[in-house]
């Protein structure tokens, strides 16, 4: 029987919780170990399914992988070979495409199957390959993608500020000959974290945190340790968790610069955490009143490329809005299927009108009722978990493997805050399927 969560909601959560390492930083950083000349020790790596799958892909091409404790992994790619990536593993995660840049840079060629990942709309790979073509790669598209060629620095304008497209181009450029200027680059915290890791390996990168990166290629990079930064998406999820349950939660180990747009968005919903150094404190007495625009107009919450509000937090914001007084229009710009989970919230009692694939109007507050629901993707799955914890009565959340792809041991961590949540494994041994 597939695992599920049984949740009894309607109780405030309280306590202190630490965010896991940013999965969207850990994945490209692990891929980038292919560029180093020896073992790299990476700390604060979330022990989740996506990470385990990427490590399995690295092992498939000859890397040695060893865990040291729960969240530290050592990866030695010195004996890696230019093998075609395993199709079954590649299909499991979107991040398999992150091996294109470093494999091409190191071996001069790579064959990879189409990547998998969440079904949240069309997710282009064009940006990746157009950038790698500009660096000198020949790209052949068939049942798999084949790239080969000697890389040379170039002036590249990305056709969209794709996060993984930027990361692939960056990983290729650090080993290309000459200078690369990467324009219209993504600048999310996880892109910055990857860039800092590459610098620790000896790469020369200027403009980290901006939309223009200048890279001086190096013929070789030296192995170095790195600590993955905190997951700002998980932090936003915990803010939402405190808000919908009326709880008081302290999130310990945050980076304030990563949270500006998130805190601004929650403030619009009447949720105002306090930042005290590396601690973010969400008090129990939040107003939870949506602030109208000047003149009393219905406000709009929209996502966009960094530093705008992150698309991965839109599902969380929608659940929070169902518990806030007032009207809110949400505009999800990036993925045309991201909002399709709202029918499950409507079934729980939320008052939401889905205007089109990108826009919805939420009227709150709504009393949510426990239901049996499905996790359609990582972020919507976590949003459904928040809704279940806010609802009266019992809920069962199925397909929780989606949630566990992005949130490490989430049931155990939420129980420590007072949540009544049980993981039903069926015949599965405790611990299997959790990473």
Residues noted as catalytic: 118
Question: Would you state the structure tokens that stand for residue 416, as one six-digit string?
Answer: 């420590």
For residues 192 and 298, what is the distance between their CA atoms, to the nearest angstrom? 35
| 3 state DSSP class of 34 | helix
Task: Give kind and range of the element (H or E) at residue 395.
Answer: strand 394-398
What is the spatial distance between Cα 435 and Cα 427, in angstroms, rounded to a whole number? 17
Six token digits for residue 235: 């932090």
3-state secondary structure of 36: strand
- Cα dihedral sign for 33, 39, 40, 45? positive
Phi, psi at residue 42, to the nearest 5°? -110, 120
E strand or H helix that includes residue 112: strand 109-112
- The pair of three-digit structure tokens given for residue 71, joined into one six-digit string: 């969240």
- The side-by-side arrangement of strands in the sheet containing 14-17 is 14-17, 248-252, 279-282, 274-276
Cβ atoms 417, 15 nearer than 8 A: yes
C-alpha to C-alpha distances, 359 to 41, 76, 118, 334, 386, nearest whole angstrom: 43, 46, 20, 11, 21
């Amino acid at each position: 029987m597939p695992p599920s969560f049984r949740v009894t909601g309607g109780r405030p959560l309280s306590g202190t919780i630490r965010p896991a390492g940013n999965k969207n930083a850990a994945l490209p950083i692990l891929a980038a170990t292919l560029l180093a000349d020896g073992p790299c020790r990476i700390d604060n790596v979330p022990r989740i399914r996506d990470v385990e799958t990427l490590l399995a892909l690295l092992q498939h091409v000859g890397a040695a992988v060893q865990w040291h404790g729960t969240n530290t992994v050592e990866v030695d790619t010195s004996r890696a070979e230019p093998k075609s990536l395993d199709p079954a593993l590649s299909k499991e995660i979107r991040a398999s495409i992150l091996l294109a840049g470093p494999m091409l840079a190191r071996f001069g060629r790579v064959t990879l199957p189409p990547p998998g990942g969440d079904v949240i709309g069309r997710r282009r790979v064009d940006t990746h390959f157009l950038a790698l073509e500009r660096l000198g790669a020949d790209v052949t598209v068939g049942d798999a993608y084949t790239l080969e060629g000697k890389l040379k620095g170039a002036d590249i304008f990305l056709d969209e500020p794709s996060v993984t497209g930027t990361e692939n181009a960056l990983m290729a450029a650090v080993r290309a000959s000459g200078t690369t200027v990467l324009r219209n680059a993504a600048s999310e915290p996880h892109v910055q974290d990857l860039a800092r890791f590459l610098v620790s390996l000896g790469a020369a990168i200027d403009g980290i945190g901006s939309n223009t990166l200048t890279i001086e290629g190096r013929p070789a990079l030296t192995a170095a340790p790195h600590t993955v930064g905190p997951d700002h998406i998980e932090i936003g999820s915990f803010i939402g968790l405190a808000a919908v349950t009326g709880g008081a939660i302290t999130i310990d180990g945050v980076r304030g610069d990563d949270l500006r747009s998130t805190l601004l968005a929650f403030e619009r919903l009447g949720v105002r955490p306090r930042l005290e150094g590396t601690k973010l404190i969400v008090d129990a007495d939040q107003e939870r009143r949506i602030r109208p625009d000047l003149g009393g107009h219905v406000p709009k919450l929209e996502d966009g490329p960094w530093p705008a509000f992150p698309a991965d937090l839109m599902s969380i914001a929608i659940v929070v809005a169902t518990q806030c007084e007032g009207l809110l229009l949400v505009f999800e710009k990036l993925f045309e299927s991201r909002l399709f989970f709202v029918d499950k919230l409507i079934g729980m009692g939320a008052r939401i009108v889905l205007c089109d694939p990108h826009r919805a109007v939420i009227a709150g507050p709504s009393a949510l009722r426990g239901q049996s629901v499905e996790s359609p993707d990582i972020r919507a799955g976590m949003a459904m978990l928040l809704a279940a914890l806010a609802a009266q009565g019992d809920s069962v959340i199925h397909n929780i493997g989606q949630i566990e792809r992005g949130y490490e041991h989430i049931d155990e961590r939420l129980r420590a805050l007072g949540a009544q949540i049980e993981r039903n494994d069926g015949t599965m041994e405790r611990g299997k399927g959790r990473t």
